[in-house]
Amino acid sequence: MAITAFCGVAVFILSGIKENRSKVMEGTIDDVCTTVEELNSINSLIHPNLNKLRKSEFFRIFKVNLEQECPFWEAEGTCITNKCVVDECEAGEVPNEFKMCNQTFDVERNLQISEMSMINSFIPNTQIDEWMKIEEKDDKAVFVNLVKNGHAWTFFNGSHIWDAIYNENCMSLLELDQCTENQVLYKLISGVHANVNLHITHNDFDLNGDPLPPNHERYLERVGLHEGRLENLFFTYSLALKAINNLSGKIDEFSYLSDNPQVDNEVKETLNDLIENSIKICENPFREENMFTQWTKEQFTNTIKPVFYNITRILDCVTCEKCKLYGKLQFTGLTAVMKIMFGQEKESKLTRNEMVGLINLMAKLSDSIEWYFQWLQYEQSYEYPVWYALKNHWMMLLLIVPIVIYEISCFFKTKPKLKTSVKKSQ
């Protein structure tokens, strides 16, 4: 019995250690037309391109309104560290061309999504005909240098914001049948959520604003132990990657508004290299035409667009400036993805802000994929102490320890009696 108890404790400890390792993602993922291994290979190639692009003048300057009032409830709460504060661009830091707000990028797709499996159910139209509120012409919008305002842990608790975002998605689509189309938005939201959590766990700070090592425990709690969240991260990555691949052949048509033609050409060259590096491994990481089994593209867009718009308005309820900045940046990028992949003909142009959002979203997703595989390597090489396995299971341990003690005491109580019996026989 004692041996059994000891074995039970050993198995318990080993299982506890296993529970404190990331879910291993491999093979294919639902709705993604390539493997995790291929996406990792692509990411290794394009990550340097994305790092170079987001540091360039064109892609590091983003215009955003951080003072817009929350339209849904009275927003409360303040940040407790200086990491929440966003510094605006200084005078002379923003090129005059950026201030004109009249530049657009033609991204009309070559790929035509088939209008298949028409259904008879009526999906109501809406008064909202935008993916999100355009802030580039807003008087209260300011220019922000993203390189100088890095994404990091701020101690802001945004759980109520994410709850509202998920509830808006759920309640708006509740009456629709469960089909591939209406799960897309949930997967994208979840993918962005996982992306945000990977960034705030990697860029960790204490209350004094001093940097800390990446927080493995917070990473596991928020992302690593959740297979669904990891799947949705790869889903969002593959969809954003396909959107960028669809810009192939159009990059040279854009102007990146640099006073230096050489810099402008370098941006074009880096973008073309990014797309070439992606396509040579997998041209179609995501086949959007496979999604439309019950809806047409137009029905999908008309249904998702108002929900997406309301979700982006929830971001105005965030009371942490840095969190609001990066929430709006990533959803602006997601707007560009939706326009490129699912937008109607009149939505074939992106604003400068949407192009900036697209590249920065892709860069941040690329960071997250790289960090995920780094965490896997770390967990394989790290020797976990016993307490690490036990700390999350202390209640079960309280049940096991008395049993072990009882079994051990019973084992030793029987020994003296055996010795006594031997002496009497002599």
In the chain, the N- to C-terminal Cα span, in Å, equals 31
DSSP string, 94-158: S-HHHHT---EEE---SSPPP--S---------S---SS---TT-TT-EEEETTTS---------
Q: Among the options 33, 101, 320, 410, which is catalytic? A: 320
Q: Is 259 exposed, middle or buried (0-12, 13-18, 19+ CB in 10 A)?
A: exposed
Q: Among the options 70, 170, 323, 410, which is catalytic? A: 323
Bridge partners for 315 per DSSP: none
Burial 170-185 (b: 16+ CB within 10 A, else e): eebbeeeeeebbbbbb
393 is in an annotated binding site: no
Element (H, E) at 292: none
CB neighbours of residue 425 within 10 Å = 6
Distance CA(264)–CA(282), nearest Å, equals 27
222 is in an annotated binding site: yes
320 among known catalytic residues:
yes
> Tokens 């661009």 correspond to what residue?
89
154 is in an annotated binding site: yes
DSSP string, 167-210: HHHHHHTTTS---HHHHHHHHHHHHHHHHHHHHHHHSEE-TTS-
Helix (H, G, I), strand (E, B), or coil: what is residue 352? helix
Residue set of the binding site: 154, 162, 190, 193, 222
Q: What amino acid positions are annotated as catalytic residues? A: 320, 323
Residue set of the binding site for FAD: 154, 162, 190, 193, 222
